[in-house]
């Protein structure tokens, strides 16, 4: 069975963004001012810890952005589009039950009529097909088996943590050209101006321990339970990571050109250009954002339904709707950054070096590119990082009201929207809601903490105020 790569629109844009970030990192290394600011970010323990957490989410999202289709025995391509993450979590994907089951359960959540060996019937909770299927007597063996698996997961996580620390020590030993013991001592007690190595090791240690426990339990149970159709909730939450990252990053590709262009033009040229741009974003802000996005998404949905034949798979159709949602949010969410850049440009255009450039006959576009834009880069970067968490939450809100991503696509918003209807059941089905909320909370919290550190490092006014307060 062969594999044929499948490149979705969002896949191409995601990897384009990865290459752009790579070139930006090279630019940072070659620019002393940027290198110093990013080094300040890495010196902060909170910045390093949040960066590790964000890195884990990014790795999972990238693994879910490498899609392929299998070629069947008859030569045709399978209609299902899979990813590398699907391949890695194939056991979670294939081990489906009939309906709801609680986390680490061995029996289904609802009672069913079961035929007894003596010919009678009884209302009981049936055994799960995969969850705890290896236990002969779940009531007696469940506790011991779960504890053994947790201990095994802890040991795997501990071994992986030790291996990570050893690899990091050897790498930095070769870079610092010192002894192994000195390198480890410097990792645990960083010197002045060193990155927060101890925070890196502790956060990685905790993540590896938790991951070891989860995947050790997932080998025999549904760690986060199953949903209405019996699908593993852990698998759904991990598949939803890509959707949140796509909304949070690709939307920026649409927002930045509009916000930067209009903000700089309005602030530098002023006059009627400033009046027109202000009128546009004031009018746009006067329209309720959710209603504006909902109307645009519904128009896109009608177009997709009228052109079903243009999509060879369900994944392509869902991907087009996801990309359209990013474009719509980007085109309706640029006003805040544009206002900020306009105000900063109004101040910068009156400085001496800009006045001197105009006196020497330098054109307006050249002044914007060579003198204004480099001096507002810190505002753009801070805005990108701080708006990321808001965009992730926006997807959940829009999916909750039914105008978000395609219902067949895994997303935290779709999970929350489906779970809210089950809170009135008896007994309550709470685990899909808690699972989606927990991962979304972890991503948004890490993004917010990292944004605070980036703001303190790149915004001189924030650094000055924090120093004055201390």
Average pLDDT, the chain: 86
pLDDT of residue 162: 92
- The reply to whether 289 falls in a domain is yes
Radius of gyration of the chain, Cα coordinates, nearest whole angstrom? 26
177-186, 226-235, 444-453: segment of lowest average pLDDT: 177-186
- The reply to whether 334 falls in a domain is yes
Residue 186: pLDDT band by 50, 70, 90 thresholds?
A: confident
132-141, 142-151, 239-248, 398-407: segment of lowest average pLDDT: 398-407
Q: Would the CA dihedral through 8, 440, 60, 20 be positive or negative? A: positive
- The reply to whether 192 falls in a domain is no
- The reply to whether 189 falls in a domain is no
Distance from C-alpha of 206 to C-alpha of 203, rounded to nearest angstrom: 5
Mean of the pLDDT values across residues 449-467? 70
Q: Are 338 and 262 in contact (CB under 8 A)?
A: yes
What CATH number does the domain containing 366 carry?
1.10.3720.10
- The reply to whether 399 falls in a domain is yes
- The reply to whether 143 falls in a domain is no
pLDDT of residue 216: 93
Distance from C-alpha of 399 to C-alpha of 406, rounded to nearest angstrom: 9
* Buried b or exposed e, range 84-114, using 16+ CB within 10 angstroms: ebbeebeebbebbbebbbbbbbbbbbeeeee
Q: Give 60-104 pLDDT, tens digit per residue.
A: 999 999 998 888 777 777 778 889 999 999 888 888 888 888 899
Mean of the pLDDT values across residues 315-342? 88
> How many domains does the chain divide into?
1
- The reply to whether 454 falls in a domain is no
Distance from C-alpha of 401 to C-alpha of 163, rounded to nearest angstrom: 46
Q: Give 142-168 pLDDT, tens digit per residue.
A: 999 999 999 999 999 999 999 998 898
Closest CA to 103 of 131, 81, 79: 131
Q: Give 416-449 pLDDT, tens digit per residue.
A: 888 877 777 777 888 888 999 999 899 999 988 9
Q: Give the structural domain span for 310.
A: 234-436
- The reply to whether 109 falls in a domain is no
Cis-peptide into 362, omega within 30 deg: no
pLDDT of residue 203: 93
pLDDT of residue 119: 66
pLDDT of residue 470: 36
């Amino acid at each position: 069975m062969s594999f044929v790569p499948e490149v979705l629109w969002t896949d191409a844009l995601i990897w384009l963004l990865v290459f752009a970030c790579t070139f930006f990192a090279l630019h940072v290394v070659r620019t002393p001012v940027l290198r110093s600011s990013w080094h300040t970010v890495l010196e902060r323990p909170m910045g390093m810890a949040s960066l590790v957490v964000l890195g884990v989410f990014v790795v999972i999202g990238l693994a879910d952005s490498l899609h392929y289709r299998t070629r069947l025995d008859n030569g045709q391509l399978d209609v299902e589009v899979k990813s590398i993450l699907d391949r890695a979590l194939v056991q979670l994907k294939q081990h489906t039950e009939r309906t709801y089951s609680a986390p680490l359960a061995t029996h289904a959540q609802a009672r069913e009529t079961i035929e007894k060996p003596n010919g009678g019937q009884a209302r009981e909770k049936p055994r799960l097909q995969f969850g705890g299927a290896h236990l002969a007597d779940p009531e007696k063996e469940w506790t011991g088996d779960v504890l053994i698996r947790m201990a095994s997961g802890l040991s795997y996580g501990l071994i992986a943590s030790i291996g990570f620390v050893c690899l990091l020590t050897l790498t930095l030993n070769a870079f610092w050209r010192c002894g192994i013991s000195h390198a480890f001592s410097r990792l645990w007690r960083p010197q002045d101006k060193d990155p927060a190595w101890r925070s890196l090791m502790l956060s990685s240690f905790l993540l590896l321990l938790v991951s070891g426990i989860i995947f050790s339990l997932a080998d025999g149970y549904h760690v986060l339970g199953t949903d209405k159709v019996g699908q593993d909730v852990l698998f759904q939450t991990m598949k939803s990571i890509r959707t949140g990252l796509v909304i949070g990053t690709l939307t920026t590709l649409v927002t930045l050109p509009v916000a930067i262009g209009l903000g700089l033009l309005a602030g530098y040229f002023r006059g009627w250009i400033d009046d027109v741009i202000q009128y546009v974003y004031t009018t746009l802000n006067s329209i309720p954002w959710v209603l504006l996005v909902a109307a645009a998404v519904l128009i896109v949905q009608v177009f997709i339904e009228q052109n079903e034949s243009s999509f060879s798979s369900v994944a392509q159709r869902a991907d087009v709707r996801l990309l359209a949602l990013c474009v719509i949010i980007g085109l309706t969410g640029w006003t805040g950054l544009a206002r900020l850049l306009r105000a900063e440009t109004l101040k910068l255009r009156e400085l001496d070096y800009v006045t001197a450039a105009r006196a020497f006959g330098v054109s307006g576009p050249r002044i914007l590119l060579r003198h204004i834009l480099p001096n507002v880069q810190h505002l753009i970067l801070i805005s990108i990082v701080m708006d990321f968490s808001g965009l992730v939450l926006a997807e959940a809100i829009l999916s909750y009201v039914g105008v978000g991503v395609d219902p067949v696509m895994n997303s935290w918003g779709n999970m929350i929207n489906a779970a809210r209807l089950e809170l009135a059941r008896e007994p309550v089905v709470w685990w899909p809601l808690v699972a989606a909320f927990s991962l979304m909370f972890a991503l948004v919290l890490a993004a917010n903490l990292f944004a605070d550190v980036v703001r303190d490092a790149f915004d001189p006014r924030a650094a000055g105020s924090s120093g004055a307060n201390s």
